[in-house]
Homo-oligomer: A and B are copies of this chain.
C-alpha cells in the first residue's frame, strides 16, 4: 500500500510508493515507448488493462472487447489505491495515512496514432461526457475530497504511454494549490463583491490582447501572469463553479474550443509536450464562488532551481505575444484536417 505522507513544515502531502519501490537502476535509461500493436490502450487489446469501469460502445458489443469509442479503466500502476482508510497516524512528529485514492485512465480514441486535437468534434464531446460521468460517479464516495482530471502529453509532459489518454486521481484531501486558489477567490469576493475569474474575463474581452478563441459559452486566453510560454486557459463566460454542472450545449461548445485551442498550440509549437489540468470546485464543498476552467500548460521551459526554491516562474514569452501567435494559427487551415470531417465511431 502506498502512503500519503505530510511535510511537517508546509503541510504538503506526498504519495510515497512503499512497495515495488524504484531503486537507482530503475531510473537509468528512458522507458520503452509504447508502439502500435503492443499498446494496451489500442482497440483489440482490452484484456491487457484492468476490467473497464465504463465505456461508450456499440450496443451489441461486450465489456472489455472491441466496439468502444471512449473507454475508462483503472490505472494498472496506480499512484493511489482504492483499498485502505483515510485515518491519519502519527509517526513521531510526522503524519502519514494509507495511500487511499482512485486513479483512472480515460482512453480517448481507439487509434494509436491519433492525438487529442485530431479527433472529431463529436468524439471530443464524448470524451468530455466521459470526464463528467467519472467525476459525478466518484464524488458519490464521500471519502474523496477532490477529483483531479489531467492529461500528460509527450515524454517531457510526463506521459509514459503514447496512446491518447487522460487521467483522474481522486484524493482524500483538498490539495494545497486548490485550497489556495479557493482562498484567493474568497478574499477577492470579500474585497470587491465580485468573482475574480468573472472580472478577469471582463478585462480580457475588453482589452482583447490575450484572448485566443471564443464562442457562445467559452473563451480561451493566455493568462496575464502565465507561468509557462503559451499557457492557455479555457473558461466558461458565465459564472459556474462546477465542471460537472455543464449541460449539453456547453459540452459541445467546450469540445469545439478545446479542439481550436489545442489545434492552434500543436500547430504553432509543432506538437509540444503539454499538461492539461481541470480546475473545478472540491467535491463536498459549497464553493459557489469558484469558477471552473481548464489550464493547458505547454512544457517548453524547465522547472528548475528558481521555480523549486520560490514557487515562482520565469516565462520567456509574454502572453500577449503567445495570444497573437495562437490567433494567427486559427486561420492557417491546419485545424480540422479533411480526414476528421467524417467522425470515426459516433
Contact = CB atoms under 8 A, between A and B. Distances in A.
Contacts of A305: 148, 150-152, 157-158, 167, 275-277
Contact of A21 (B7, B10, B225, B318): B318
Nearest to A22: B316
Nearest to A270: B28
Given A156-B302, A268-B24, A275-B308, A79 B314 contact: yes
A300 B28 CA distance: 9
Chain A contact residues: helix, strand, loop or mixed: mixed
Nearest to A183: B10
A22 B317 contact: yes
A225 B312 CA distance: 22
B176 A311 contact: yes
Interface of A: 5-18, 21-24, 26-28, 79, 91-94, 146, 148, 150-152, 155-159, 167, 169, 171, 175-178, 180-181, 184-185, 188, 196-197, 199-200, 203, 206-207, 223-227, 229-230, 268-270, 272, 275-279, 295, 297, 300, 302-306, 308-319, 321, 325
10 contacts: A8-B224, A14-B313, A15-B312, A22-B229, A93-B196, A146-B310, A150-B304, A167-B305, A177-B311, A279-B309
